[in-house]
């Protein structure tokens, strides 16, 4: 949908923030909000918010603003959160275990169904009731369980081959934490996550702030 309408990735990446802030407003019992009020909470201009949401139909009413519950639901649909996704973690070291233990994914429709590794010390251990399997069993598991997403926390040297195999086996998306940018055939979506990039951005902000003061 985003590609057909030529919606920029910058807009798409802001949608989860809107979704999160609107969810927080719902928890506080807020029924409606203006773009100005939302801009103050999100540190995004009111004009930017209106432009972003107009890509998908607008959702606001002049003189009223946005119905918080309705907008939250509509953004959920745009992001695909009205569906359920089955996920596996491939690479159950420290980061893999931390992600496997993060149960907030499930509240948004992402269900962890399998864990895989090559390390004999990890195979057979249990995380949140799921046993860690040998990676050799992954092909059959992915096909039999219609797995949608694989979270990759593998070393650089292994991740490309594993990703290509997962694509062949029918995986729809890869959430890749493996410090290398993956590019796969059309039909397999990849989100490459570099934790160090965020940390370096923070370092820049600190340095820039110190130079200004």
Taking only the tens place, the pLDDT of each residue in 17-40 is 999 999 999 999 999 998 888 888
Question: How far is the CA of 69 from the CAs of 22, 35, 102, 199, in angstroms?
Answer: 8, 15, 26, 34
Q: Tell me, yes or no, whether 13 lies in a domain.
A: yes
**Are 72 and 163 within one domain?**
no
As a whole number of angstroms, the distance between CA 155 and CA 62 comes to: 52
Q: Tell me, yes or no, whether 41 lies in a domain.
A: yes
Overall number of domains in the chain: 2
**Average pLDDT for consecutive 10-residue bins of the chain (213 residues)?**
65 91 93 89 87 83 81 93 95 96 90 96 95 97 97 93 95 94 88 91 88 76
Q: Tell me, yes or no, whether 109 lies in a domain.
A: yes
Given this model, what pLDDT does residue 5 score?
55
For the whole model, what pTM was predicted? 0.86
Given a contact cutoff of 8 angstroms between Cβ atoms, the answer to whether 50 and 35 are in contact is yes
Given a contact cutoff of 8 angstroms between Cβ atoms, the answer to whether 106 and 43 are in contact is no
Tokens for 120?
A: 């004999």
Q: Tell me, yes or no, whether 144 lies in a domain.
A: yes
Note down the domain range covering 90: 85-196
Q: Tell me, yes or no, whether 129 lies in a domain.
A: yes
Given a contact cutoff of 8 angstroms between Cβ atoms, the answer to whether 131 and 113 are in contact is no
Name the domain boundary from 49, 78, 107.
78
Q: Tell me, yes or no, whether 125 lies in a domain.
A: yes
Taking only the tens place, the pLDDT of each residue in 150-187 is 999 999 899 999 999 999 999 999 999 998 999 887 88
Given a contact cutoff of 8 angstroms between Cβ atoms, the answer to whether 162 and 171 are in contact is no
């Amino acid at each position: 949908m985003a590609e057909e309408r030529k919606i920029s990735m910058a807009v798409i990446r802001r949608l989860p923030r809107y979704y999160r802030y609107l969810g927080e407003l719902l928890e506080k019992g807020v029924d409606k909000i203006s773009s100005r009020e939302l801009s103050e909470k999100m540190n995004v201009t009111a004009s930017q918010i209106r432009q972003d949401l107009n890509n998908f139909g607008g959702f606001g009413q002049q003189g009223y603003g946005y119905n918080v519950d309705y907008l939250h639901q509509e953004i959920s649909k745009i992001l695909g959160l009205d569906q359920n996704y089955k996920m596996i973690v491939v690479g159950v070291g420290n980061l893999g275990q931390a992600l496997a233990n993060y149960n907030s994914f499930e509240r948004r429709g992402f269900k962890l169904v399998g864990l895989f590794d090559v390390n004999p010390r990890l195979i057979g251990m249990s995380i949140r009731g799921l046993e860690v399997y040998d990676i050799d069993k992954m092909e059959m598991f992915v096909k039999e369980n219609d797995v949608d997403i694989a979270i990759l926390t593998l070393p650089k040297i292994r991740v490309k081959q594993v990703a290509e195999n997962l694509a062949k086996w029918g995986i729809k998306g890869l959430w890749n934490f493996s410090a290398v940018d993956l590019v796969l055939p059309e039909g397999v979506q990849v989100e490459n996550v570099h934790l160090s990039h965020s940390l370096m951005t923070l370092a820049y902000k600190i340095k820039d702030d110190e130079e200004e003061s």
